[in-house]
């Protein structure tokens, strides 16, 4: 229910120890603190995020260099950064439901789940266009009449590209509320369940069977 989004945001801010301010975007991230999950990129652009006056909440554990870095940053910017090192199921749900934007700048991601969880809760994902992230998030600039946007993507694994995608998300959040709301609603309606996937697999198999009946090269057990 999108109408409960702001209450979820207030609850998230309270749980993570940062002040809630209406209109201030909250960026969320749930991941292992490793390069594979894009924390090297986040470390490079963290100053830009802080300068944008956005808030950042992180849940995860991992490499000591990132634990130390974000511990220092949280102490220096307690009103903008909230962190829980480790796994906390309740906090994970709060971040998915209460953040405005979810960050997932993975170096690679065969499938990925958090971008789908985020969309379900009306949280707009900013992801690197790789693997399952590319399959599930439709960029605002690449949408067509048949495919409505659900988030923001970037392709090159570099900090500058990551920041540009975040910048586009922040600009839309602050200056184009109708588009932002439509993106939220579109994401919340997405069906990533096996019910949908099973139907698509069945349709694919039916096409292959139909093609094999009309293509002599595929007859007689010579299916490729």
Task: Evaluate if residue 99 carries a pLDDT over 60.
Answer: yes
Structure letter (DSSP) for residue 39: H
Measure the CA–CA gap between 20 and 50, rounded to whole angstroms. 16
**41 token code pair:** 């990129």
**pLDDT band at 197; cut points 50, 70, 90:** confident
Other CB atoms closer than 10 Å to residue 125's CB: what's the count?
A: 27
Task: Evaluate if residue 224 carries a pLDDT over 50.
Answer: no
**pLDDT band at 93; cut points 50, 70, 90:** very high
The residue among 122, 116, 94 whose CA lies nearest residue 5 is 122
What pTM, to 2 d.p., does this model score? 0.88
């Amino acid at each position: 229910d999108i109408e409960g989004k702001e209450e979820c945001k207030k609850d998230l801010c309270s749980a993570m120890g940062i002040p809630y301010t209406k209109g201030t975007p909250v960026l969320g991230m749930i991941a292992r603190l490793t390069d594979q999950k894009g924390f090297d990129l986040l470390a490079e652009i963290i100053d830009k995020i802080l300068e944008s006056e956005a808030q950042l909440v992180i849940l995860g554990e991992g490499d000591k260099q990132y634990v130390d870095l974000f511990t220092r940053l949280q102490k220096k910017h307690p009103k903008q950064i909230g962190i829980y090192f480790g796994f906390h199921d309740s906090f994970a749900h709060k971040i998915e439901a209460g953040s405005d934007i979810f960050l997932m700048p993975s170096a690679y991601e065969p499938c990925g789940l958090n971008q789908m969880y985020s969309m379900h809760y009306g949280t707009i994902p900013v992801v690197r266009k790789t693997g399952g992230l590319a399959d599930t998030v439709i960029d605002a600039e690449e949408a067509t009449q048949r495919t409505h946007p659900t988030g923001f993507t970037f392709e090159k694994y570099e900090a500058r590209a990551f920041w540009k995608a975040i910048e586009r998300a922040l600009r839309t959040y602050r200056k184009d509320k109708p588009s932002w709301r439509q993106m939220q609603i579109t994401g919340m309606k997405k069906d990533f369940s096996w019910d949908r996937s099973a139907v698509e697999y069945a349709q694919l198999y039916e096409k292959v069977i139909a093609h094999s009946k009309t293509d002599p090269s595929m007859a007689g057990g010579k299916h490729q």
